[in-house]
Amino acid sequence: MIEKPVAVVTGASSGIGAETVRLLSERGFQVFMGARRIERLQALAQKYGGIPIALDVSSTESVRQFTQELPDSVQVLVNNAGGALGLEPIVNFDENQWVEMYQSNVLGLARMSKALYPRLLTRPNPVSHVFNIGSVASFEVYPGGAGYTACKHAVRAISETMRLEWLGKPIRVTEIDPGFVETEFSLVRFGGDIARASSVYAGMEPLTATDIAETILWSIERPPHVNIDCMVVRPLDQARIDKIHRQA
């Protein structure tokens, strides 16, 4: 029997992560999916056949338990778990929100990469692939966004450092940097305030989670000697993180 290639997607219970699970599964990957809302993962698994495992990337112990469940043959790791919390100026920053953002977007990504590195290195077939989901916030800033943009700037620094430290190893490192994507991102950021979340996309056409999941699949399918370092993908209606064209 031919073994399916194995992919791991964090933050798979919603948005970009869930859509990545769908596309990779359809392409023949065995996908292990992690997030805190296990019931959502189970529902996804029913539809696409992936394997749901509870994961909180903010916890070293949870990452240890999650990675223990994975086979040795992990070939693709999608570090997607994360998001933004709040929009307060620096002088009013909420310390708990900043800690939570650093825990998921930055430390979570580092924990997962550290835990899976030995497997990515020894079972490349012919190359392994790590994806770090950054953002246009990895290189642009906006008022009220410092906690999140600092996290995503850190993701950029980590992606570049991985490429330096892993030079000569069979592991590709790709950072995907989306602009506005309509997912639960803004709903989470604004604590469940539906009206405030939908106002983010008012009068403009945001990206969909499928648009971003397709960039991941496309990057995997390049020939093994090709590394897509970084892909910035914005809606046509977004020229910069804070420059949006909106219909009246």
Looking at the annotation, which residues are catalytic? 148
Residue (37 or 245) nearer to ligand NAP, CB: 37
Q: What's the CA gap between 236 and 45, in Å, rounded?
A: 33
Residue (8 or 127) nearer to ligand NAP, CB: 8
Q: Are 62 and 54 in contact (CB under 8 A)?
A: yes
Residue (83 or 145) nearer to ligand NAP, CB: 83
Q: Give least dist CB 100 to ligand NAP, A.
A: 8
Residue (5 or 17) nearer to ligand NAP, CB: 17
Binding positions for ligand NAP, rule: CB under 6 A: 10-17, 35-37, 55-58, 80-83, 104-105, 108, 133, 135, 178, 180-181, 183-185, 188, 209
Q: Give least dist CB 108 to ligand NAP, A.
A: 6
96 CB neighbour count, 10 Å cutoff: 10
Q: Give least dist CB 5 to ligand NAP, A.
A: 22
Q: What's the CA gap between 230 and 177, in Å, rounded?
A: 7
Q: What's the CA gap between 110 and 92, in Å, rounded?
A: 28
Q: What's the CA gap between 135 and 13, in Å, rounded?
A: 19
Q: Are 74 and 119 in contact (CB under 8 A)?
A: yes
C-alpha to C-alpha distances, 51 to 6, 12, 146, 210, nearest whole angstrom: 11, 11, 35, 20
Residue (38 or 170) nearer to ligand NAP, CB: 38
Q: Give least dist CB 87 to ligand NAP, A.
A: 13
Q: Give least dist CB 124 to ligand NAP, A.
A: 25
Q: What's the CA gap between 41 and 114, in Å, rounded?
A: 24
Does the CA dihedral 168-170-175-176 come out positive or negative? positive
